[in-house]
Amino acid sequence: MKVVVGLGNPDPGYSATRHNIGFRVVEAFAAAHRISLRKLSSQARGGRGRSGTGELWIVEPLTWMNRSGAAVRWVLQDTGTDAGALIVVYDDLDLPLGRLRFKQRGGHGGHNGIRSIIDVIGTHEFVRLKIGVGRPPTGTDPVEYVLESFTSSETSLVDAVIAVACEALNVALAEGVTAAMNRFHAA
Identified catalytic residue from 19, 33, 124, 185: 19
Contact yes or no for 80/7 (Cβ under 8 A): no
Contact yes or no for 169/29 (Cβ under 8 A): yes
3-state secondary structure of 43: coil
Instruction: Examine the residue annotation and report whether 108 is marked as an active-site residue of this protein.
Output: no
Strand order through the sheet with 100-103: 38-39, 44-51, 54-61, 2-6, 86-92, 127-132, 100-103
Catalytic residues: 19
